[in-house]
Structures are given as structure tokens and as C-alpha cells.
Structure 1
Amino acid sequence: MIPFASQRGGGQDLATHLLNDYDNDMAEVVEVRGAVAHDLHGAFKEWEVQADTLTHCRKYLYSLSINPDPRQGPLTREQYMDYIRRTEDALGLGAQPRAVVFHVKYGREHCHVVWSRIDADQQRAIHLAFDRDKLMRVTRAFARDHRLDLPAGYDKSRGIGQISLYEQEQLRRTGLSKANHKQEVTDAWRQSDDARAFVQALAERGYMLATGKRPYVLVDLYGGMHALPKLIDDKTVRTKDIRAFLEKDFPCDGLPSVEEARQLASEHRRIIEQSVQESRHSDRLEQLKHSQMDRRAAVERERDTLKHKQRALRFSQEMRQRAERDRLRSDHRAHMDAIRQERRRNQPTGLAAFLGRISGFALLQKTLRRHHDKQEARTYIERRQQLGERQRSERSALDCQLAIQAKEIERRAAALEKIDRRELAALRRDIKREVHVRARDGDQVMPSLTRGSPKQPHGAIPDVLDAFSRASRESNSEVPDLMAAFERAARTDGDDGGEDGSGDSLDRSNSFEPTPPDRPRRRRNQDRER
């Protein structure tokens, strides 16, 4: 079993990757712990907000991938959870929020675990020191307890090498692994006696020499950038040796930039692959879009159901509040009617009424009743105001609740849009890879950048190496205009080399000037001849 872990940010992109159904036969979210939201996008967003608010930590997530050895059979869910528990104990993540996702890819099950590194109570990010060494100790103990065999070399302190994410993406995009690139460049290096022959051999294998952050890099036909020293499978060859070998005939200021080389390679690749049709992949695209529509339809149905439910809640609240207002009004009227009826029953008549009028008692009683009526009216107004404030508060609370529900649905819909875009991009990537593979007839080598290769008739496509050589000769000390030279090469017939018809276009055998007889061979070749 091989664990692969890293501290990282970009929670939304990670959630989209983990929920990508196209690249996985099955994606199952088993657990989301320590978050209000129950989905990955919502949980990772909460942890991102905590990181920005409390710690300003950029790599606020710790992502772990658990990949069992298929030759030893799959792990049970209990074994996965045991390994996760051991990892939490070793790294101090036992109390941290986490998400557990299981994937089945190419018939192989593996597990992804993502922890939040933010301790909200202490307002700090948990420091993970020597996490790889701790993971190796956890893996050894787990394998010993569960009687599993570890890969060869895993008992060493440095572990085993793993393919990087960039190399993995390049393999998915082009169908060529790093081993294929290393084999081709190493063969070109061993078969070349000078710099010009080496660059010519690289061009025949689909690589163009360029300059970027490093003085010398390689750009392949598919736009991938490679460090030249890392593709030469010879431990005796150092970076300074390669620079000394190339800088005389190919100084860095005369080389194209990585962007220019990629543009040249793109034009060259377009000409090669223009006959390869992608129409047969339309069924796969339609099938993917149909499955995505079914997935979005569930969210749309939930949204419609929520709208009807919200309308019912609003109507129910409005009717209840209206009934409360009507009841308060009717109670006040009934109370005042009862007071008036009581007053009429107790109204003095005859001599009592006469004595009340002449003594002033009736006037005093009338004044007291008017004062009492005003107090009743003020009490009613206060109760009505209190009722209105309470009802407005209830309406605001309901509006807030319904807005949160609506935003939750919209957030999930936006997350589905991200997943849809990721799946469509993955499908187009696979279609492009299949086009690349068909264009090279299934070979594990790239088409040549020069004319006259066995699979590319002479003159069928422009010679990138010829364009570079011609632009270098025409520019002297200035920066060569590679695109202009490439366009001239594209307009030139295979039998007619230059614009003046003098045949200065170069083929594979004479793309560069021959090496002078007195040019010393490299020390490596001298040693080999001895």
C-alpha cells in the first residue's frame, strides 16, 4: 500500500476533482465531519473561510490518498478506517474536521481523506512536521498488523518514487509517459557527436530546443515542457556539461522562448492531425451530457420542490399573522363593547341623574370614563405595535431561512456546474489523446518536426527545424522571427527549398552546416573509442 499526501489549498478545485464521475467508475462520499454543509464544496468552503478569518493559512487542507496493492486484494472499509485512525494519531489530526471519499477507478478501489488543518478553538493551523516519515512508519505498522507486503524499497528511509501530478497529467493528455520521453532523448544524445546533430536528432523525434526559466529546455510536439538534463538517462552527464555542449552552436539568446516553441509546435501538430476526425466521439460527448442533465434534473426538481414549499410557508405565515391581527382587533372591540354595555346598565336615572348633573358628579364621571377609554386605546395601540414588531421579526427570520435554503440549492447547482466542466474537460482531453495516438499510428514516439520522415512524405508539412535555421541565418544578431520563417516554410514546396528557388531548405541529412574536420570530439566519445 502506498500513501500519497500533501498540504494544499484550493478546496473548491479539490472537491470538484473528488466528485468527478467521468474519471472514476464510482465516487462515494462516505463521511463529512466538522462542517455544517454535508457536501464537499460546502465543507471545504467553510474550512477556507476559517483559514482566512483565523489564521490566513494558505494551505489549509491536508489531503491523503490511500492506494492498496491490487495484487494483494482490496482492503475492507474497516481496514481503511483503521489506517485513517492511525494517521490521525500520528499527525495530531484526530479532532480535526475531515472528509472521506472512496473512488473506484479501472476496477481498483482507493480512498481519499481530506483534513482541515485549522484548529478553530486555538485559532491556529496545525503544524505537520516530517509527515512523510510519520506516514511511512504508520504504513509499516499497518502492513505488519494486517499481514500485508510493502513495495520493494519501502523499508528505506526515503521510500519509493512516485509519478508527479504534472507527469500524470501529461500522460493522460498525450499518451506518452516520462519513460518514453527519456528513452527518445537519451537515444538522441547517445547517437549524436556534436550539438547540431543532437538538435537535429531531437527534432526528428518531435522535440524543439528552447529557452525558459532554465537556459535549455525541450518543448515537444504536444506543447509539453521538459528539463533537458532530466531526460538524459546518464548519471555521468551534468547540467553544466550540457550547457557547455550546446552554448557554442546554440546560444540561449538565439533560441525561441517556450511560448514561441509551443506556438510552432501547435501549428505543426495542427497540420499533422488535420486529417484525423473527431466526429466518432460525438456519441461519447452526448452520453456524458445526458448523464449530466440527469444529475442536474435532480437538483432542478429539488429546487422546484423547495419553491413550492417556500410559497406554502410564506402563505401559512401570512394567514397566521393576519389571524393574529384580526383576533387582536376583535378582542379590543369586544372589550370596549362590554365596557360600554356595563356603563349603560349602570347609568343613573331620575333623581340620581338630576343630582349628578347639578352636583357635577356626572361631569367628573364622564371625564374619568374618557380618560379610561384613552388608556384602553393606548394599550391597544401598544399591543398592536408589539404584534407588528414580532410579526416583522418572524417574517425576517423566515426570509433569512428561505434565502439560506435557496442559496444552498444554488451553491449545489454551481458545484455541479464545476463538476460538469471538469468532466467535459476530461472527455475532451481523452479525445485529444486518442487523436494524438491515431495520428502517430499508436506508436509511443512523437512525429518528427522535420521533413522526410518515413511516415511524413517530403514536403507534406513544413520543417520546423528548417524554419528555425533559416530565421537564425536571416536575423544575424537580432531575435529570429520564427513564426514568419515557419509560414514561409509552410508555403514552400517540398522540391523548392527557399523563396529564391535556390534550394536552401534543409532536410534531415543537411539541416545544419557540417562539423569542421578539425572539430574535437567530446571527451565522452573519446573515452568510448578507447
Structure 2
Amino acid sequence: MILVGNQRGGAKDLASHLLKQENEHVEVHEVRGFASNNLMAALNEAHAISRATRCKQFLFSLSLNPPKDENVSTETFEQTIERVEEKLGLTDQPRAIVFHEKNGRRHCHVVWSRIKTEEMKAIQLSFTKQKLTELSRELYLEHGWAMPNGLKQAHARDPLNFTLAEWQQAKRIGKDPKQIKAVFQECWSLNKTQNAFENALKEYDYVLARGDRRCFVAVDHRGEVFAVSKWIGIKTKEVRDRLTDETALPSVSEARIQIAKDMATRLETISQEQKNVLEARRAELEEKRQILVHQHRFERKKLHDAQHSYRHHKQQEWRNNFNTGFRDLFDRLTGKRHKIEERNEQDAWNVEMRQQQERDELIFKQLETRRALQSRIERLEALKTYRLDELEHDRSQYQAMREQRLEELETQRREQNRDRPQLRQSTPDWMR
């Protein structure tokens, strides 16, 4: 089964995600090592404990995804989880196990607390991706499941099947010359025919092409040209002895044109995927905004009704302060009624000020919540602009590279046609 894990914080969000009812069935299978048996309370407990440390990503979340058509028992899941704990050093740590079922598939999520309560330190997790990948391979072999190509060998993946993060990383770090040389030497030593060598290079994102002066070259996704003999470290004659069919290979310009076309198409696909993801996140924030507006209106109406009821009660109390009949006439003559009016007015003013302060406090509290949401909306819009502009810039560069190479090819063809000797019509001697 495929194992994907990562360190993270956000206990409440993670618990909410694991309990989402968008799945057909959700089963909290186990909550171990926490004071509460409730998933939300357990993860919040992990968060509370982490506050005593400097650790921000106090959880380790793992998803276990078996092959699509395989029925995997709960016991197998539990055994796998135990093996993951042993490999990563999470044995006996508090954990929660949740099973999801959707569209006929069952998979599992496990969340561990990284905080060792005895020492109040987070467990250091190193090389988790490599360790989980190794365990995934072992599980496929042990259970006789058909192993995905990408899990057999890391380089067996489609070179055009990259994600946004992988593309940005490739742009950021570039390529190490030692790694390039190792790739060429490995492909050459393991593949004895031209087709095998060409396919091996393609797995590493290189296109074998026909260079100048019968030289064989490889072109990478950026359009850079690498001489095969130079990067393998052998003589050109040895390369020619094995790579004999130049006519089956594209020229450098043709290879660059095809690469530019493929990369532009892939970047366009990624751009559309990003638009869909960001629009979905924007829709979620818009829904939260609408819910927040309704919630705030309800809270204000509730306060308004309570204050209105209180004022109505106070008005009755103020009216009761006045005497009636002859006592009222006596109070008017002695000035006592005037004093009662002043006291009632002062009391009414105090009530109004106090209620206004209550309304202000509620409004300020709601504004703080609303501004936090607005900040998320603005960050999302800025992220959308940045990502899409970056992808469009890269796509435009590949499109420009393709058009430039097409123009170069056309220019070469025109020059070749112009340099060809033209047949002269013979003329009789008497016309000369």
C-alpha cells in the first residue's frame, strides 16, 4: 500500500478533516494514549501539550492507501501501523486511527503526537519519505500486489508527470553536474542498444538527438544540449559503434521543438489545475464569509432584543418612581418630582451608554474575526496571481522557444534550397 506521511500542526482542522461526512463511512477505530476518547478532544490535547514546547508541527499524519481492487483486513492495517511506528521511532506515542470508505475503496489515516511527555520534547523524524517508500515496496512484495511503476524505481516515472511543487523545485535547485554524469554513465552501461539507451535517457527527462558532425547529443527539458561522449567519458567512435541509426533521431532543433511543445502543454494543464484548486479554496472562503455574516447578524439581533427587553423593564421602573394623585401634586409643589425626573434621566443615560458599550464590544469582536477571514481571502488572491503569472511566464518561454526553433528550421531549409545547384538549360552554339 502507498504510505504518505507529513509533520503538521492544526489539530482542530485535522480532526475536522478526518471526521468529514463527505466520506460514505467514517470510523474512529482507535484513540490511544490520550485522556479523551473523542478525536477532536484528543488532538486538541496534543496541541495543549505542545504549547509547553517550541514545536509547531506537533503531529505526524499518515495515510495508508491499499491497491484499488484489494480487500485489506483491519489486522493488516494495524500491523502496518506498528511497523511504521518502529521505523519512525513513534512506538507507544499517543495516536488515533480513522478509517474512511468512499467509492468502494477503504483507506486509513493515523495521527501521532510527536511530543514525548516525559521529556517534553518532540521526536525528531528524519528521512520519513524514504523510510515509508521502502516499507511500501516491502508490503507490495509480501502481499503479491502489482507494484506501481513509480514505486519500483524512482526514475521510472513519466518525466512529464511533474507537479507544481516539483516544477518549482527543479527551477530552484538546477542540476548537479555530478548527477548528470552519473545518469549518462548508468544509462550507457546498462543499455546495449540504441533504442534501449534512448528509452533510458527518456526516463531521466532527456531526449536523444542528432547533433552536428555525426555527434550524438541529449537535450533536457530546458533545451540544454549535452554531448553523449563527453558526459559518459568515452571517445566519440565508441558512441558511434553502438548508436548507428542517426536517421531515426530528431535534430537538436526538432528535439527542442517537441520538448517545448510537451512542456508548454503540461504547464497549461498545471495552470488549469491550479485555477481549479484556488477557485475551490476561494469558494470555501466565500461560504465561510456568508456564514460569518449570518452568524454576526444573529448575534447582533440577539443583543438588540435583550437590550430592548431590558430598556422596557427599566422604563416601567422609572414610571413607578413617580407618585400619583395628591402625592404627585405635593411632589410637584415641593420639587421632589423634579429630582425624581433628573435621577431617572441620569439612570436612562447610564443604561444607554452601557448598552452602547456592549454593542461596540460585540462589533469590535466581530470585526476582528471578519478581518482575519478577509486577510485569508487577500492572501489567497495574491497567491493566485503569483502562481498563475509564474506558470504563464514559463509556458510563454517554452512557446517562444518552440517558435524560435521553428523559424530556425525554416531558415535552414531556405538556405539549403538556395545552395542547391540549379540545372542549366543547354543553348545552341549559334545563339551564344
Structure index of larger Rg = 1
State the TM-score, normalizing by the size of structure 1. 0.32
Higher helix share: 2
Which structure is richer in relative contact order (CA contacts within 8 A, separation 6 or more)? 1
Question: Normalising by the residue count of structure 2, what TM-score does the alignment of the two structures yield?
Answer: 0.39
